[in-house]
Amino acid sequence: MLACLRDRLGVTSFNLGLVTPPLAETEESWEGFPVIVRVVDRGDPKSQASDVGGIEIYASSVVSSDPFKLARQLRQCLD
């Protein structure tokens, strides 16, 4: 997916967050807990006006691309 973002969509700067179950044993069961990945395109790194980080994207309504177009292109990369 990251190669698709870089090579087909021209993404040059991004934030990536990854949440997984604990790596060590715990008292509680984490069975079935999904791996969650969030990727945020930060825009053109040469332009301060388009810079957005992972924190900002979830705290305000900044959408710079069509999420349905992105989903179609990622699906094509992964097929």
Q: What angle do CA 9, 75, 71 make, to 5 degrees?
A: 65
Q: What is this structure's pTM?
A: 0.57
The pLDDT, as a whole number, for residue 9 is: 87
* 31 vs 50, higher pLDDT: 31
Distance CA 28, CA 23 (A): 13
pLDDT in tens, 48-75: 665 556 555 655 455 566 778 878 888 8
Contact 30, 21 (CB under 8 A): yes
- pLDDT category at 21 given cuts 50, 70, 90 is very high
- How confident is the prediction for the chain on average, in pLDDT? 80
Identify whether the C-beta of residue 37 lies closer than 8 Å to the C-beta of residue 18: yes
In single-letter form, the type of residue at position 37 comes to: V
Closest C-alpha among 13, 16, 4 to residue 77: 4
